[in-house]
Chains A and B, each alone.
Chain A
Amino acid sequence: MTPLADDVSAYLKQRARWSPIEIAFWIFAFATIWLFPGKYLIMKDTAILALFALSLDLILGYAGILSLGQAAFFGIAGYFSGLVAKYGIVNEPVIALILGGLVAAALGFVTSFLVLRGSDLTRLMVTLGVSLMLGEVANRYSDLTGGADGLQGVTVAPILGLFRFDLYGHNGYIYCLIVLFVCFVIVRRIVYSPFGLSLRAVKGNALRAAAVGIPVKWRLVAIYTISAGFAGIAGALLTQTTAFCSLDVFSLDRSADLLLVLIIGGTGYLYGGLIGAVIYRFLQDWISTLTPQYWQFWIGLVLVVIVLVGRDRIGAGNEAVRNTIHRLGMRLLARPAALGSAAPDGH
């Protein structure tokens, strides 16, 4: 290979390398199992919220699809995993989780054709409408779903037949964290693949994307389906770790919270949903212990401040961070190239 070809290949691959900050992030995430033993329940909620937000980031941050209806996928898989456990159809949680994700993905595929026509506002309304309709369907068939009382009597078998969901949420948290990590690795892989790159192109300029031969519509259908699948896994996790599922899985609040999480954390760099979920969940927890009655006021205030004041700065920060990483990457790349020219067999 010519030096230029080496350079091209190295540069393209280097984009996907795990940075030390990322590795530190995940080491810390797993260290929380031992660091904060009293916080399992809230940390478990956070992990589920993070996975859910990651699913939205996939369509919003990478494909530019704004949605207020991720709860549809969260909810359908939540009920699905609750029902299969309750009636003993699928007892093993991991298998039920994967099936839940597939059910949600199937719903995502079917509804994608409604969502992908029209502009942002149309999409927002269609996604919202789908989740509201499903909520009503679950309410109507209360014989099966328990209606407003929620789905009672769910008993979830031990994970892989080995690890029981304990009262303190210890195993439940580890389970959620591992699922989050596995899903994150898959999402990361997708984002750095040619498919992921083509999504960024579609988001950046759909007209040109079509003009270089990218089937824009099918790429969007694909990512919407994948995103729905991950949202479903998050919903199934919630049902499995709480042994309960209620109509609020379909609520507008849940989809709206998700947008707030991404506003706090930022979109399009994968960690926005994760960091946003941690900040949002702990902020909520902290404020609600300070003022149990009026905590929503303070959350609202924080959001207004973030959007009005902080957003530009966060945006500018991202830009600066991106440029720094970019420059570092260039320097790291330049070094092996220089070595290579001095000693051709050097590496």
Chain B
Amino acid sequence: MPLLEDIKDVLSFAAFRPDPDDATISWKDRSSGRRSLLINVNRSHASWRAMNKRGRFQESGAQDGELAEIASARAEEWRSLTDNGWCSLSLNNRFIISLENNLSRRENFLTLLRTNPKAVLGAKYDRGKRYALYHHPDTASTLLMACDDAAVKTAEDVLRGNGLKAGRICCGLFAILEMKLREIYDTKKVDPKGSFMMVATCEGSIAALVQQGGQWTDFRCRTGMGIDNVEAMVQIIGPLVQKIQPETPVFFAHDGNDQRFAQEMMRNLESIGAQDITSEDMLWRVLGET
């Protein structure tokens, strides 16, 4: 009886609350009053954190293996941590981030990117990918993230098959990078026309961006490196470090889940004067609050 359901939704005010999969609303607002689960998926590892009705972080966990195996093993536990099985999923593999120029910045580009990405990306659009982007506030440069469409669909199917629903699918590394860049530009931590280097890591994936003279000049990204291989990560950003001037500020942000890895990274980055600008529970806050 759809009419009765509609009336019930109006009288219980549910019709005025955002749907758990409304991409235009922050996860905190979407999940207000209901428990949800935040999951970060790597190629052979997954970690998760539960959020209670008040938006506070609760139980956490991690397990090695592919998402399909982990989800089927943990399905009951994950369902018990949510109301109606809604999850916010972060895919931390099968994506690439690139530096682009002169992409469309029309007013509703975020909505268009979901519904008609070709209208935003033009010739750069590939139908086998799903996209997210972040524009430089002052120049025509854009960070473009492209994730495999098949990976997204697989993740959705796996969750659906285990009685869970994907309310949002994003890329945790790109989200951390975007949030910290916004913070740097909004709080004017550096001169907008100046130079800096931003390094972001998320459970074995790394991205590094260099701005020189107000322009994004270099970007490197690598996924699926694992959290034990700090040396390999430092090697990824090595060529960028060589390009920047000696006094250039370097910012480092990580997922906040592995303090040992973060300390190891900072030991390697201290020589170039890096500042750790990671917030507490960085990854979960990005997934659960924004």
Is the A/B pair a real complex?
Answer: no
